């Protein structure tokens, strides 16, 4: 069973801009068993309901780190019943948070993922119809995020 991830982008007013649930695209068996969909999130229903809360509870930690470190990537910031939480904050106070149920630390690949998302996010801002703190509903953005997820996680 591959790891599942919950990725969310949180705006400057602690408002969610984007969410995505997926699972790792690594170690996909060559012959796919029936009912197996690569990339489908495998969180249990009860965890799914908790994920937004877990992500939001880490905002306090991120806010504290915002002015005590000058790194963009905050690394692993918290954990919650076997879920690791990694965070990233941009210059414009936009937070990227990933919750994942892996036993080992995946900070390195998540860091690369975050950096690419950061560039992608600055491109979202180039859209004149997009205002800061709007939800990101562009299908192209969604596609790119999923492609990055496939590449790095």
**Which residues contribute to the site for another protein (CB under 8 A)?**
6, 12, 16, 18-22, 25, 28, 37-41, 48, 51-52, 66-73, 89-94, 115, 118-123, 125-127, 129, 131-132, 134-144, 146-147, 149-150
Pick from 62, 70, 71, 79: which is nearest to 9 by CA?
Answer: 62
CB of 103 to another protein, least distance (A): 23
**28/82 with CB nearer another protein:** 28
**CA–CA separation, 97 and 27 (whole Å):** 24
**CA–CA separation, 25 and 153 (whole Å):** 7
Q: Are strands 83-89 and 16-23 parallel, antiparallel or unpaired?
A: unpaired
CB of 27 to another protein, least distance (A): 13
Q: Do 28 and 22 touch, CB atoms closer than 8 A? A: no
**CA–CA separation, 91 and 29 (whole Å):** 40
**21/80 with CB nearer another protein:** 21
CB of 78 to another protein, least distance (A): 20
CB of 81 to another protein, least distance (A): 19
**107/138 with CB nearer another protein:** 138
Helix (H, G, I), strand (E, B) or coil at 63: helix
């Amino acid at each position: 069973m591959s790891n599942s991830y919950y990725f969310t982008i949180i705006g400057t007013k602690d408002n969610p801009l984007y969410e995505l649930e997926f699972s790792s695209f690594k170690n996909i068996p060559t012959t796919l068993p029936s009912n197996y969909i690569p990339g489908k999130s495998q969180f249990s229903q009860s965890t799914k309901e908790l994920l937004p809360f877990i992500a939001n509870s880490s905002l306090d930690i991120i806010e504290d780190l915002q002015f005590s470190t000058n790194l963009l990537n905050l690394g692993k910031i918290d954990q919650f019943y076997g879920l690791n939480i990694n965070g990233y904050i941009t210059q414009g106070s936009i937070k990227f948070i990933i919750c994942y149920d892996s036993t080992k630390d995946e900070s390195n690949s998540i860091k690369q993922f975050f950096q690419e998302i950061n560039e992608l996010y600055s491109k979202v801002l180039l859209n004149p119809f997009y205002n800061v703190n709007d939800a990101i509903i562009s299908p192209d953005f969604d596609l790119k995020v999923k492609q990055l997820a496939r590449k790095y996680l």
